[in-house]
Structure 1
Amino acid sequence: MNNYVSREMIIYLFNVLGLDESTIELGIKLSLKNNTPLPILLWSYGMLTIEELDKLYSFLFQKMD
């Protein structure tokens, strides 16, 4: 499984969704440890709502175009 975390994703989590730096760092560590995509991990631990998860994936998919 690809566990890629982009700079753009981190900036979006921090600036747009308002997550703390420490929350993002913890999410990245747990994501790597559990081999889980960061957005799913943040949602499953209650750090993101389902609406925020949807916004994040919409943002990421727009970046792919």
Structure 2
Amino acid sequence: MELSQSHTQLIDFLQTELAVSASSIAMALRRCEQDLGPLPIILWQYGLVSLEQLDKIFEWLEG
């Protein structure tokens, strides 16, 4: 899966600001392809980010 620049920036934010592991992100990206859901929601559904972190992700995406 080739990532867009916005996806790459989001992944960088997840790793540097929220300390989400690369393996968690990789798993969520695989689920996104299968479920066709947005990455932040997949991360939250699988317990890889907290609700507070999900809020921070959405704030970052709006900015």
- Pairwise same-fold verdict (TM > 0.5): yes
In the TM superposition, residue 61 of structure 1 has moved relative to its aligned partner by 0.6
The CA deviation at 1:7 is: 1.0
Q: Which amino acid aligns with 1:51?
A: E
Q: TM-score, normalised by structure 2?
A: 0.87
Q: Secondary structure at the match of 2:49?
A: coil
Give me the whole-angstrom Cα distance separating, in 2, the residues matched to 1:23 and 1:29: 10
**Which residue identity lines up with residue 7 of structure 2 in the other structure?**
S
Is the counterpart of residue 41 in structure 1 residue 60 in structure 2? no
Q: Residue in 1 aligned with 2:27?
A: 26
- 1:32 is displaced (CA, Å) by 1.1
User: What secondary structure sits across from 2:48 in the alignment?
Assistant: coil
Instruction: Tell me which residue corresponds to 1:58.
Output: 59
DSSP-derived class of the 1:46 partner? coil
Q: Matches of 2:61 and 2:9 in 1, distance apart?
A: 8
How many corresponding residue pairs? 59
Structure 1 residue ranges (4+ consecutive) displaced by more than 2 angstroms after TM superposition: none
Identity %: 31
